[in-house]
Structure 1
Amino acid sequence: MQLYNKLSAKERAILIDEAGTDRLTLSFYKYAHIGNTEIFRNYLFIGWNELDVLGRIYVAKEGINGQLSVPAPNFEAFKTHLDSISFLKDVRLNIAREQDSKSFLKLKVKIRHKIVADGLNDDTFDVTNKGTHVNASQFNELIEDPNTVLVDMRNHYESEIGHFEGAITPDVDTFRDSLDIIEQDLKDHKEDKNLVMYCTGGIRCEKASAYYKHKGFKNVFQLEGGIIEYARQIEEQKLENKFLGKNFVFDHRRSERISDDVIANCHQCGKPCDHHVNCANEACHLLFIQCDECASKMENCCSTECMEVNRLPYEEQKMLRRGKKNSNKIFKKGRSEALKYKK
């Protein structure tokens, strides 16, 4: 019984090229009570591995959160498999606007304490008492209302390359950091303003809306399906697009363009740019924004120090990394002091 990946990412990429089959990148989530997470995890891995599904899926007692890549010919079989699970029947699937057959190169189904790291004690409030879900048309109307406060529930590196017009974009590194900051900043408007939230696919707003209602906010709304679903609806229904720039996504694509606006800058030279990369030095691997000119000049690295390390023979680089933990810069997402034009 196979419960792990037998192929490396490089080997999988070669097989994808050889297959020549289009793949669909999609995501979904569902809060539900899962009694035995290990059995459920194994069941998913076995079933999806047979369908050549790749992706990153988190399973917890509170539910499931998945980002996946499915071969287009296997999509109906994948959907049938999902529908066979009672609490996932007809679950909304957010289909990516920009497809890439190599968005994921491994199947990882992991057991977690929570499907989103929110730092909340769910026993202290009713997580089912969520905010009102609104579609793209309703969302556009709401954010035109002067009594609305629009809040981006994502992290700084996500909102830096794209966000809705007029949104509050907390300068935070993690979702859990934003919760208390937003409550404090809006404490005087719990009853007289509409609190409207959005995130990538909707999952962070599910928990946040219930939390803010528990904290006394009276009029709480959330964008159903997040930015991904919003982009689909405005295109299908010919609605006005209120989103500027790109939507950050958590796969190898890193982003999807929603509008032609470029609202960010290269972290190294300051030129308009919204292209995220990871530093080529494996000991750093910092996520940052880099234009083509700087990528060439800096050899895809975030600093001269990393560039010098990356020029060393691979075995020598491995020796330098041996016994050392990853630098905190990896998790700061563009916070490195080496970046002159970071946000």
Structure 2
Amino acid sequence: MQLYNKVDKKVLKERLMQEDFKRVTLSFYRYIIIDNPEELRDELFLEWSDLNCFGRIYLAKEGINAQMSVPEHNWEEFKEKLYARKEFKDIPFKVAVEDDGKSFYKLIIKVRKNIVADGLKPEDYDVTNIGKHLSAKEWNEAMDNEDTVVIDMRNHYESEVGHFKGAVTPDCDTFREELPMVLKELEDKKDKKVLLYCTGGIRCEKASAYLKHHGYNDVNQLLGGIIDYKRQIDAEGLDNKFIGKNFVFDERLGERISNEVIAHCHQCGKPCDTHTNCKNDDCHLLFIQCEECAEKYDGCCSKTCSDIIKLPVEEQRKLRKNQNKTGEQRNVYKKGRLRPHLDEFVQNGEIIESPLKQKES
């Protein structure tokens, strides 16, 4: 009985590209008590493997957080089996805006302490006391009210490529970092109407409960997140108040919500909102790169990484091994920290004067 993937990722990606059927990319979550997440994890892995499902799923005693790819011909069976479990009955799905079926190439299910890493203690929030869920229509109306403050509950590399007009976009790497930052941002705004949004809604569940716990009464969150907002505005012919791309945590790295490109290539400053990971296996920095720079730097974040990937594989391994032994600083960065900072940006791995300034959208 195999409960983990054991096939090389290159082989899995090749298999995915050769598939002759369509897949549905979706996400879903639910905060609910799960008595034995380890046992459920194994049951779901076997069940979903049989249906040829891929994805990244987190289970904890507090619930489930899933991003998945399901073969279209197995979609009804997948839903039927998931809904048959009492803890997941009628759980709402957020289906991808743009979907070529290549979002995931393997199935990963992990048991964690929390389904979202938030750093909160149980006494910091009450998940039964959360903000009001707003439909896309209600959200747009609330945004038109001058007495509101809109907060992006995502990380900097997500809001950099797309966000709601006029939203506060905290410069943070993680959700854990963002929560106290948002509390500080709102410390003198307790009389304001607070609007929270994120990708699919899960981070706003915790964030709204956190704010309510700290005395904020008029806390609201976007129902279904950005993903479902796009579906609703298209279905109802509503104005789109989101500009740019919605960053997603799968192989696609983004879905276009509007035609505006509000970000810039981290290497040359050209308008661009295409995320990529540095091709150097010892780096894998997530950053924004235009086609010209991708060709110039071989898909790498710097000339240094470009030079490294041209070395024989054994030489690359030797280099990493020596760095580990000597304690030398490895060429590893935080997510997206190669981006331009006001008057400076990175070129050839060096911070220099920038020919552009980031403009507020």
Q: Report the TM-score range of the alignment, normalised by the length of the smaller protein.
A: over 0.9
CA distance in 2, matches of 1:62, 1:226: 20
Q: Are 1:20 and 2:44 an aligned pair?
A: no
3-state SS in 2 of match to 1:40: helix
How many residues align structurally? Answer: 342
3-state SS in 1 of match to 2:28: strand
Q: Determine if contact 2:104/2:250 at 8 Å carries over to the other structure.
A: yes
Q: Determine if contact 2:282/2:331 at 8 Å carries over to the other structure.
A: no
Residue in 2 that maps onto 1:332: 335
3-state SS in 2 of match to 1:274: coil
What is the TM-score normalised by the length of structure 2?
0.91
**Worse-matched range after superposition: 175-184 or 269-278:** 175-184
Give the counterpart letter for 2:170 in structure 1: P
CA distance in 2, matches of 1:88, 1:177: 30
Distance 1:73 1:150, change over 3 A: same
Alpha-carbon shift at residue 312 of structure 1 (Å) = 0.3
Deviation string 1:183-223 (CA, Å, 9 cap, x unpaired) is 11211111x21010000000000010011000011100000
CA distance in 1, matches of 2:34, 2:150: 33
CA distance in 2, matches of 1:328, 1:36: 40
Alpha-carbon shift at residue 320 of structure 1 (Å) = 1.8
Alpha-carbon shift at residue 304 of structure 1 (Å) = 1.1
Residue in 2 that maps onto 1:197: 196
Deviation string 1:14-38 (CA, Å, 9 cap, x unpaired) is 3233331111111101101111111
What is the TM-score normalised by the length of structure 1?
0.96
3-state SS in 1 of match to 2:337: coil
Alpha-carbon shift at residue 328 of structure 1 (Å) = 7.9
Residue pairs, 1:1-343, within 5 angstroms: 1-190=1-190, 192-322=191-321, 324=324, 329-335=332-338, 338=349, 340=351
3-state SS in 2 of match to 1:43: helix
Q: Determine if contact 1:302/1:339 at 8 Å carries over to the other structure.
A: no
Q: Determine if contact 1:284/1:330 at 8 Å carries over to the other structure.
A: yes
CA distance in 2, matches of 1:90, 1:141: 28
Q: Determine if contact 2:23/2:70 at 8 Å carries over to the other structure.
A: yes
Alpha-carbon shift at residue 327 of structure 1 (Å) = 5.0
**Worse-matched range after superposition: 284-293 or 95-104:** 95-104
Q: Determine if contact 1:329/1:335 at 8 Å carries over to the other structure.
A: no
3-state SS in 2 of match to 1:38: helix
CA distance in 1, matches of 2:98, 2:40: 30
5+ long unaligned stretches in structure 1: none
CA distance in 2, matches of 1:158, 1:86: 34
Give the counterpart letter for 1:27 in structure 2: S
5+ long unaligned stretches in structure 2: 340-345
CA distance in 1, matches of 2:92, 2:333: 32
Alpha-carbon shift at residue 140 of structure 1 (Å) = 0.2
3-state SS in 2 of match to 1:294: helix
Distance 1:339 1:154, change over 3 A: farther
CA distance in 2, matches of 1:305, 1:204: 36
Q: Determine if contact 2:17/2:102 at 8 Å carries over to the other structure.
A: no
3-state SS in 1 of match to 2:188: helix
Residue in 1 that maps onto 2:343: none
Alpha-carbon shift at residue 182 of structure 1 (Å) = 1.3
Q: Determine if contact 1:154/1:175 at 8 Å carries over to the other structure.
A: yes
CA distance in 1, matches of 2:131, 2:91: 19
CA distance in 2, matches of 1:305, 1:11: 28
Give the counterpart letter for 2:225 in structure 1: G
Q: Determine if contact 1:267/1:339 at 8 Å carries over to the other structure.
A: no
Distance 1:76 1:312, change over 3 A: same
CA distance in 1, matches of 2:336, 2:218: 33
Alpha-carbon shift at residue 339 of structure 1 (Å) = 6.4
Give the counterpart letter for 2:307 in structure 1: E
CA distance in 2, matches of 1:339, 1:224: 42
